[in-house]
Structure 1
Amino acid sequence: MGGCRIERLLGAGAFATVWLGFDPRLRDWVAIKVLAENWANDLRIRERFSLEARLLRRVDSPRLVRVHTVGELADGRPYIVMEWAAGGSLRDLLEAGDIPADTAWGILRQVAAAVADLHTNGIVHRDLTPGNVLLCPPRPGDTTPATTGEHTPPEPPAVPTADAQAWSGGRIVVADLGLAKAMAAASGLTARAGTPGYMAPEQDDPSSTVDERADVYGMGRLGLRLFGAAGPPPGVAAVLARATAPAPAARYRDADAFARALADTATCRAGPDRRPRRNRRTAVAALVLAAGATAGAVAVDAWRDRPDPVATDASGRISVRLPPGWRAEGAGWAGRPAAGGGLAPAMVISPDPAHWVTDPEVPGAFIGLSDGREAATDAADFLAGHTHPRCRADPVRAVRRADVEWTIVRYAACPTGKPVIVEAAALLAGGATLGYVQVTPPDAASATFVDDLLAGITLRAR
């Protein structure tokens, strides 16, 4: 096949099979990807298959699997000859057990660097999964394997695929650009494609535009999987929370921005807070507030004779009476710029603000203000764009609290993440500012908890 001697089958998927071969001209082992026979006559799939090779050749990055050549079999099926990643896939490593935090952090940084190379060249991957992250382990001595003859390959190097130490020292590459798309080809990507659990929400919406931020979401999901049940260190958790925000505008703009944010967490890699936590639910909630309130000071008016202190954000436009035992953090709505520069006002309140996004057991609320663009629609329209499809939605209701008319939707019986999520939005006087609150109530909260919380919120229009 392509002048290569075939050793064995490496894997098979819906669209292609991959074989291990030896190329006597390169004197090296290679992986040969062949389009599946049942797709051979589908021109759309053939073009996508060929595009993968062209994109990989165009970028030509050591962080991406290298393409040596392409060709067609006698039956007309196209194939791609590429470098063989002898260390296996990240999926293999994850299936073997937990990964040390430092190794997980290093792997994620290398993945981010690889995806940044794609984004620099105007390419979106769209399918970043553990199976598409591969290890090319370092070879001792000469990188050219010795052979006893031009057509007699050496034994394939034996590298344990479940060795975290090998992953710490090897070259990690991103593969399988079968769903990738050059951004120059269209103003947006609208095809529904990707792997559930890793693909961004907009990839499942034919009317949405898919860009670099879809890959940021995929890297965030990869990161959560890498750090496993123990969870990432707090600084990394904040980065992953923003990366996996449901709204693209709330995420990092591309892989380079994500990589830089991840690099800034280098000082907090010692590990996450190891306090005992209940484990009734382990998945991270798909919350809009994964967009997050950026770190910053929040003034708290905590007089001793006042049972419920009041927190005010840095802008002075948001004040909230805190439930007992709750505190406030945040100085801006990450990913949402303010009209005059900086970030739109926002804060997170919770008994444990640092872990609210990542721990489904921690109650809390996100409170934000958006000027201008959001106010072009009413509160109900805004909430229609902030749904939780896997949860059961209660009927929309309205309530007036503190001279603000709130529109509220409660989502319950969520299969993963927070069991109950309440979305609330309101247009402030004048209609130029929209207030948004997302609440995850405590388990034993009263039926009036959300309404009482809204009654204690004071929002100021511009």
Structure 2
Amino acid sequence: MTAPQRIGPYAVERLLGVGSFATVWLGYDAVLDARVAIKVLAENWSHDLRVRERFLDEARLLRRLEHERLIRVHTVGELPDGRPYAVLAWADRGSLRDRLATGEIPAPTALRLLGEVCAGVAVLHRHGVVHRDLTPGNVLFRSTGPDAPEAVLIADLGLAKALATASGLTARAGTPGYMAPEQDDPGAVVDTRADVYGLGRLGVRLLAADPSGTHPARPDSPHAPRIRLRDGLPPGIAAVLARATAYDPADRYSDAAALHAALARASDPVREPADLVAASARRRPAPRRARRSLLTGVAVVTAVAVGQVAAEPGGTGSVRSVGGTYTTGPLTVALPPGWSATGTTWAGQYSADGEPEPGLVMSPRPRRWAADARLPGAFVGLSAATAARTTPAGFLAERTHGDCAPAPARTTQQAGVEWTVVRYVCDQGRPQIVESAALHPGGPALVYVQIAPPPGSGPDFVDTLLAGVRLR
């Protein structure tokens, strides 16, 4: 293949890779004195409007998400022959496929790396996107500074599709060996569990003693695949990978966040690889200091979860004056001194008739709380749909935080309601995030409270706030 001398304003230095739909070149931006990766739609697909749109969708999606765990897009352009190209950040340290080609990665490093990949995919899932093609070639590395750890990036979202429209594809999408079984069925609904399968197969490649001998279970097999781990890995990891690669999507973890949380529990030598509800039921005393698992960041990056998980305003409730109580729909809360509240809806949560489920935000400045990590505050949401699919502890197991260390789950009885509570201590952003959930004592609904406590406050502040939540 003859390299072009220039693509748009960029001088082309060399070929980086060739895929089914695109060619990637290393380019040089003379204005910024920086190298970039330039992805050009393959000539043999330039006539296919569907493929062209998929190519551009990837650039739009990356631009919209703009996250440190995803490859970043700088701009798009068009060649004189009409083919589109996308200018991306250059992953100067290659791909996971490159590294595996040179030999096995040390087991503890491979486990940490799998956690990083889960965290990146969880960013997509949190925004309602399924990747559909998670392979070693789509995991990239980029240097971040002489004394800083390299960044692990998720790339090649050309097959990604919003979950709302991720069914009924007419083209087979994915890579054999990593592609979920349902992706072979044009009529199947492909959701986040397909990515869980791909992550599980990636985990098998990284962590199994004999990856080539570990095959996915077939529907006619009554047993999950038996996975023999490499030396130096916690034995509970095998069961996590077996569940992630189950043939039936219903038998897998719900998304990358849940898989990452399971890996964190299984890799922790102190706590058993059990659900948070089991840990809570045993009421084990908290250790003298939080221990990190082998996985960096313990669980999934959900940013400060108020903005992504909970507090995306969907209603028009006005801000209540400081002090006293605040009521919106079936929710009433007692406001801490100096706090006010505003009604909202619980983003992404819908009732059986399709209506948004209720929520509220309270803080000294409730409309700024999600964006300002310096502000304490809380989100309160009520969901019948969530109660129908999981328990309070199971729900909290899905709401984990990257770069944060969790304390053991605890239970507390407040105003006749039994709450499950998990506190996270974080190295960046908000220093502390508390996740709590309970069942509505008067009906089939789950109430969720996410709290960013004021600096220096302890469990008493959390328990007092929970005691002030009233439900109709």
Deviation at 1:266, TM superposition (A): 3.0
Deviation at 1:55, TM superposition (A): 0.9
Deviation at 1:295, TM superposition (A): 9.8
- Contact 1:128/1:218 (<8 A) preserved: yes
Deviation at 1:126, TM superposition (A): 0.1
Residue 234 of structure 2: aligned partner:
233
When normalised by structure 2's length, the TM-score is: 0.50
SS in 2 for 1:69: strand
Residue 63 of structure 1: aligned partner:
69
Which residue identity lines up with residue 23 of structure 2 in the other structure? Answer: T
- Contact 1:190/1:203 (<8 A) preserved: no
Counterpart-to-counterpart distance in 2, 1:190 and 1:32: 28
Counterpart-to-counterpart distance in 2, 1:16 and 1:250: 35
Task: Deviation per CA, 1:171-210: give whole Å up to 9, x if none.
Answer: 0001001111011335676742100000000001122111
1:254 correspondence with 2:242 = no
Which residue identity lines up with residue 88 of structure 1 in the other structure? Answer: G
Counterpart-to-counterpart distance in 2, 1:122 and 1:182: 6
Counterpart-to-counterpart distance in 2, 1:86 and 1:341: 42
Counterpart-to-counterpart distance in 1, 2:172 and 2:234: 33
Counterpart-to-counterpart distance in 2, 1:70 and 1:341: 43
RMSD of aligned residue pairs (Cα, Å)? 2.9
SS in 1 for 2:16: strand
Counterpart-to-counterpart distance in 1, 2:41 and 2:68: 24
When normalised by structure 1's length, the TM-score is: 0.51
Structure 1 residues 5, 67: closer, same or farther in 2, change over 3 A? same
Residue 179 of structure 2: aligned partner:
199
Counterpart-to-counterpart distance in 2, 1:341 and 1:258: 16
Residue 128 of structure 2: aligned partner:
122
Residue 53 of structure 1: aligned partner:
59
Structure 1 residues 65, 295: closer, same or farther in 2, change over 3 A? same
Residue 289 of structure 1: aligned partner:
none
Deviation at 1:105, TM superposition (A): 0.9
Task: Deviation per CA, 1:266-296: give whole Å up to 9, x if none.
Answer: 3249xxxxxxxxxxxxxxxxxxxxxxxx999
Deviation at 1:59, TM superposition (A): 1.1
- Counting only pairs closer than 5 Å after superposition, residues 232-381 of structure 1 correspond to structure 2 as 232-268=233-269
Counterpart-to-counterpart distance in 2, 1:340 and 1:93: 40
1:172 correspondence with 2:152 = yes
Residue 202 of structure 2: aligned partner:
222
Counterpart-to-counterpart distance in 1, 2:129 and 2:94: 25
Task: Deviation per CA, 1:133-165: give whole Å up to 9, x if none.
Answer: 000023328xxxxxxxxxxxxxxxxxxxxxxxx
Deviation at 1:228, TM superposition (A): 3.9
- Counting only pairs closer than 5 Å after superposition, residues 383-402 of structure 1 correspond to structure 2 as none
Counterpart-to-counterpart distance in 1, 2:33 and 2:389: 61
Deviation at 1:117, TM superposition (A): 0.5
Structure 1 residues 138, 121: closer, same or farther in 2, change over 3 A? same
Residue 22 of structure 1: aligned partner:
28
Unaligned ranges ≥5, structure 1: 142-165, 270-293, 297-336, 343-462
Deviation at 1:101, TM superposition (A): 1.3
Structure 1 residues 102, 18: closer, same or farther in 2, change over 3 A? same
Residue 115 of structure 2: aligned partner:
109
SS in 2 for 1:128: coil
Task: Deviation per CA, 1:414-452: give whole Å up to 9, x if none.
Answer: xxxxxxxxxxxxxxxxxxxxxxxxxxxxxxxxxxxxxxx
Counterpart-to-counterpart distance in 2, 1:25 and 1:249: 51
Structure 1 residues 196, 85: closer, same or farther in 2, change over 3 A? same
- Contact 1:98/1:228 (<8 A) preserved: no
Structure 1 residues 186, 104: closer, same or farther in 2, change over 3 A? closer
Structure 1 residues 71, 114: closer, same or farther in 2, change over 3 A? same
- Contact 1:89/1:132 (<8 A) preserved: yes
- Contact 1:235/1:268 (<8 A) preserved: no
Counterpart-to-counterpart distance in 2, 1:215 and 1:190: 19
Which residue identity lines up with residue 44 of structure 1 in the other structure? Answer: R
Task: Deviation per CA, 1:77-121: give whole Å up to 9, x if none.
Answer: 000000000111101111111111111111111111110000111
Counterpart-to-counterpart distance in 1, 2:184 and 2:21: 20
Deviation at 1:340, TM superposition (A): 11
Counterpart-to-counterpart distance in 2, 1:4 and 1:198: 35
- Contact 1:234/1:268 (<8 A) preserved: no
1:182 correspondence with 2:165 = no
SS in 1 for 2:25: strand
- Contact 1:189/1:210 (<8 A) preserved: no
- Contact 1:48/1:178 (<8 A) preserved: yes
- Contact 2:167/2:187 (<8 A) preserved: no
Deviation at 1:233, TM superposition (A): 3.1
- Contact 2:183/2:190 (<8 A) preserved: yes
Moved more, 44-53 or 204-213: 204-213
- Contact 2:166/2:190 (<8 A) preserved: no
1:42 correspondence with 2:51 = no
1:82 correspondence with 2:88 = yes
Higher CA-based Rg: 1
Deviation at 1:65, TM superposition (A): 0.3
Deviation at 1:240, TM superposition (A): 0.8
Counterpart-to-counterpart distance in 1, 2:390 and 2:155: 39
Counterpart-to-counterpart distance in 1, 2:269 and 2:26: 41
Deviation at 1:252, TM superposition (A): 0.7
Task: Deviation per CA, 1:207-249: give whole Å up to 9, x if none.
Answer: 2111000000000000010114253531111111111011001
Deviation at 1:265, TM superposition (A): 2.5
